[in-house]
Structure 1
């Protein structure tokens, strides 16, 4: 038998398996207005047979370096109506058509003893998935955020999962969920997981602080240019989105930008740190973003000079400076405002200001190592 035959057979089996997983689901619903009270009203992801399953046409994706949210794991998906596609952009968020529904489900791996309120602090996601969905025997669902593109722009709608893990309910005013992170060494850290309300969503998702219109953050070429293990096998995400008709105009992956994985020690320290700052800080710290008055630019476009904070005095950091003189002091992370604010969980000092209640220890260590490796010095002007 030919290789072509086996490829076709494998693809057919994958499609049949996927169809079996979607058995009984109503088609994905695009709600042109309003705030549906239940996540299941969208029919994007639903709990069935002990799994959080993806509906037909719902495509999962991941980012080279993800935004940190209190060590939560995330399942991201895109769905579009038939006959429309997003337009590729090499730098900015893709131009998604009206009708697009993007979901992001936040969850944690369960601890070994399964104690209520305890969640695992781990980067290991090998036990999370059942096909392209999530195995609820292994994970605890927290929230799912919907971004829907309507005729008047994007709308952000948060949903919080119930204790039974059967449904997520609309949470327009947000929520505060007490949880405990449990590490592999059994150390424990109590924290409040904060689900943002609808107005808080705009503080990160408003790419232009003048218009305040929100947009997705993650679906950019440099974040998506990586492989993903789909039901049909591993494939580059840009190529897969083109193949299924969800994207037009993308070049070959080798010609598209690609951020580093911040955890990939084979990548340069500079590439890893810049990728981390880009996804965690760049959506606000850019010339049009919410933090544009700070003169601190942390997205991928920033040159490595005062725009990036090197020897730059703070503009409006208040007590968030920690009495330090410059955003970044080359070679001296403990004298730098950037790492100081990242290492704080005090609401008056911490950066980012929302989206986390805990300190990302490994992220802070990365940025400190990056600052420590920078040559040069700063001279304070009195």
Structure 2
């Protein structure tokens, strides 16, 4: 009897330790209904705070998601680390949890928005870094996406926040959140779409051969930048190494430009922007590989990058334009047309947005305008494999 009581007491103590406030809980098999069951955040006192071991990071260029701002973190169990890979996502250990929380700021007069049709503001630059959490005054939390590294591989789980911002619920089939977007002059109603799990895989499966879900942003070229956090405002790769989260960094580290850096040239910024927004599909092994248009940072062949390249099965998405990219002429370039469209049958990217990213479009227009050459037949680059 005494032994049974001791076993029960030990089990209760173990359960209590696993659920201590501030402790992340890795679920190796089950998918909890509530985000709070992962123990990632504390929501209290008007703030959402990260728990121990969660490292906030930022990208040189973010994926555009209808002007939603994003707070990104990565967490790993003690005693393990990711292995550096120069071009692909780092090799993360079992137990890794990557979070991406999508949120909007709200106008002062809408500090307590209603659940239906919340008013949100356009804030092109980061409003809050999230390094020490988010102050929820004038913030509307929308969703938190988890990428969880299990023994069988990565799994993507979308959690949608309630209107009070107290917890989020797993929505495998996605969700639609009606919002009113205000840019300071005009207001536009739109529906923010939370992707379902299949749509998550549609972007995160970047190699048709492996068909494995993988992180997109956790690559050296996207992370090679200074960002505030533990150790001050230092290079993020150096921070991860110092924290024991990353090993094997060596040689020349690939680098994408900060797409908002006023000192970087437009070509470098445009390549960075297209890389993060398009290359998970438009690469040699991605879902759009047969298009012959590859927009990852490594691709240097101008023809494969779209210069004077006729479209492949783009349908009405061409806008009756002859080539993917016409140097000096964004007004006749298919790439520009599809980025400027909000028609679901024409726009690119196909998922993750219903609004046009005006600042991103302006960058791509400048980039194409500055390209030299023409698409006269004698100037068209020779075709390459896959085009």
TM-score scaled by structure 1?
Answer: 0.90
Distance 1:129 1:76, change over 3 A: closer
Residue 126 (structure 2) aligns with: 125
SS at structure 2 position matched to 1:341: helix
Report Cα offsets for 1:199-221 as digits up to 9, x if no partner. Answer: 00011000112332110000001
Contact 1:325 1:380 in 2 (8 A): no
d(CA) in 2 for partners of 1:295 and 1:75? 33
Contact 1:81 1:99 in 2 (8 A): yes
d(CA) in 1 for partners of 2:131 and 2:148? 25
Residue 325 of structure 1 deviates from its aligned partner by: 0.7
Residue 90 (structure 1) aligns with: 86
Distance 1:112 1:186, change over 3 A: farther
SS at structure 2 position matched to 1:230: coil
SS at structure 1 position matched to 2:233: strand
d(CA) in 2 for partners of 1:258 and 1:48? 38
d(CA) in 1 for partners of 2:32 and 2:291? 38
Residue 33 of structure 1 deviates from its aligned partner by: 1.3
Q: Does 1:264 align with 2:261?
A: yes
Residue 112 of structure 1 deviates from its aligned partner by: 2.2
Distance 1:173 1:277, change over 3 A: same
Residue 218 (structure 1) aligns with: 217
Q: Runs of 4 or more off by more than 2 Å in structure 1?
A: 123-126, 128-131
Distance 1:53 1:361, change over 3 A: same
Q: Which runs of 5+ in 1 are unaligned?
A: 1-22
After TM superposition, list the pairs within 5 Å mapping 1:105-120 onto structure 2: 105-114=101-110, 115-116=113-114, 117-120=118-121
When the two chains are superposed, the root-mean-square deviation of aligned CA atoms in Å is 1.6
After TM superposition, list the pairs within 5 Å mapping 1:46-195 onto structure 2: 46-114=42-110, 115-116=113-114, 117-126=118-127, 128=128, 132-183=132-183, 185-195=184-194
Residue 26 of structure 1 deviates from its aligned partner by: 4.2
d(CA) in 1 for partners of 2:213 and 2:243? 26
d(CA) in 2 for partners of 1:352 and 1:276? 12
Residue 6 (structure 1) aligns with: none
After TM superposition, list the pairs within 5 Å mapping 1:26-37 onto structure 2: 26-37=22-33
d(CA) in 1 for partners of 2:130 and 2:109? 21
Structure of higher CA gyration radius: 2
TM-score scaled by structure 2?
Answer: 0.89
d(CA) in 1 for partners of 2:130 and 2:285? 40
The size of the alignment, in residue pairs, is: 355
Residue 187 of structure 1 deviates from its aligned partner by: 1.4
Residue 36 (structure 2) aligns with: 40
Deviates more, 1:302-311 or 1:163-172: 302-311
Of the three residues 289, 296, 303, the one matched with 1:299 is: 296
d(CA) in 2 for partners of 1:211 and 1:95? 15
Distance 1:313 1:129, change over 3 A: closer
SS at structure 2 position matched to 1:270: helix
Residue 376 (structure 1) aligns with: 373
